[in-house]
Amino acid sequence: MKLWLDGELQEIETARVSVFDHGLTVGDGIFETVKAVDGRPFALTRHLDRLTRSARGLGLPDPDLDEVRRACAAVLEANPMPLGRLRITYTGGHGPLGSDRGEHGPTLVVALGASARRPDSTAVVTVPWTRNERGALTGLKTTSYAENVVALARAREQGATEALFANTVGQLCEGTGSNVFVVLDGEIHTPPVASGCLAGITRALTVEWTGAKETDLPLDVLERADEVFLTSTLRDVQAVHRVDRRELPGAPGPVTAKAMRIFDERAGDDLDP
């Protein structure tokens, strides 16, 4: 396996990032996860646009998108696989041990890992912690992911693959690495970005392609929604068959199944929508 680091492909066994890299010491970094099918990235332009937005939100220099594209192409060519998770990581680079940044410039890493197609449905749990819809990192895809690690571990303990958060005012927000949609009386709804959720790439495409409505939703909507589904880069559109102790028999329901078909068809027609 080879990855991209310091402007070139390197062997994964010998590639090294400084122990003083700000991404390691204080989580000062951003990232994107891109689905790669037979060596071709999906929605790469949208991912790179969000990478730039996240960099600006964190106060990092704009990434050199031409280099990022070259890096992605080189890594995909060097590591052929049918379905992969292409990870672009961009950090504050070598710096002091405190929160102040150094002057060495950012670090760019592009790596690829094998992935498998997700099941058509999954179980989720709600967690007692909240998303801060007014925080400094709200809406940015940063490497400060420890909160998600803790929440996802809670979900795994309960036989689920995702944990769902409310925000500080009790509205449904998002999962640790996914956006959430609910079906009410045949209509698809998802929390707006103002709720504090990440503006997911798959979320945006699903809204565009299905006509889903962005709606402020209380967390307890999960107790009465006719259908629930998740979206993310590697889930695409995935039905939910259990929320906490509530079973949703027959998942994927008819509305979710239609959304899944639409997404598969539209994504298959255009790899960079």
pLDDT in tens, 220-264: 999 999 999 999 999 999 999 999 999 999 999 999 999 999 999
Q: Which two tokens stand for residue 140?
A: 């940015």
Mean local confidence (pLDDT), 193-216: 98
Give the CA-trace dihedral at 7, 13, 19, 21, to 10 degrees. 30
Q: How, if at all, do strands 187-190 and 213-214 pair?
A: parallel
Give the pLDDT band of residue 81 (cuts 50, 70, 90).
very high
Tell me 117's DSSP state.
Answer: P
Tell me 21's DSSP state.
Answer: B
Tell me 234's DSSP state.
Answer: T
Mean local confidence (pLDDT), 2-29: 96
Percent of the residues in the chain that have a pLDDT greater than 90, as a whole number: 97
Tokens 């080189």 sit on residue: 74
- Rounded to whole angstroms, the Cα distance separating 178 from 161 reads 11
Residue 148 has pLDDT above 90, yes or no: yes
Mutual orientation of helices 65-78 and 44-58 as an angle, nearest 10°?
130
Is residue 187 classed as helix, strand or coil in its secondary structure?
A: strand
Task: Answer yes or no: are the C-beta atoms of 127 and 164 closer than 8 Å.
Answer: yes
Residue 103 has pLDDT above 90, yes or no: no
Mean local confidence (pLDDT), 26-53: 97
Average pLDDT over all residues of the chain: 97
Give the CA-trace dihedral at 69, 74, 79, 82, to 10 degrees. 40
From 72, 65, 78, select the one nearest 35 (Cα to Cα): 72
pLDDT at 79: 97
pLDDT at 253: 98
Residue 102 has pLDDT above 90, yes or no: no
